[in-house]
Amino acid sequence: MGAPDEAQRYVLQQAMAAKQKPKQAEAAKGSQRKALMGEHLTMMKEVMDKHAVMKPKEAMSGPGHEEWMKEHQALMPQMMEQMMGQQHPMMETTWRKKAAPASATR
């Protein structure tokens, strides 16, 4: 597979930076955890928005265009994996909030 172009490299770098936020959030508590997850969501939205509007250069040849598309499509599973992975810490936090009042009444 060919090397990613500049826009693809940028999106990949941003996605990798965003991937660190949930890990940091797991170690954090309270408002810091919430802030880190908010940063992660903002970063992922930016990455998804940029990915959605990326286009190959008009002057690309057939093979160059195909390589660009392969790189572009390779980014999607990575981003989807992150988005699904971020659900765990968020759901865990939501579950704890809902479970706390119920357990306090028992």
**Could you report the per-residue pLDDT of 52-106, keeping only the tens digit for each?**
888 887 777 888 888 888 888 888 887 778 777 666 555 555 555 565 555 554 4
> What tokens were used for 21?
């936020």
pTM: 0.63
Contact 14, 47 (CB under 8 A): yes
- pLDDT score for 24: 87
Q: Check residues 27 and 79 and name the one with the higher pLDDT.
A: 27
> What tokens were used for 72?
């572009």
CA distances in angstroms from 1 to 4, 5, 67, 72, listed in the order given: 9, 12, 6, 11
- pLDDT score for 92: 58
Go through 37-56 and write b for each residue having 16 or more CB atoms within 10 A of its CB, e for each that does not. Answer: bebbbebbeebbeebeeeeb
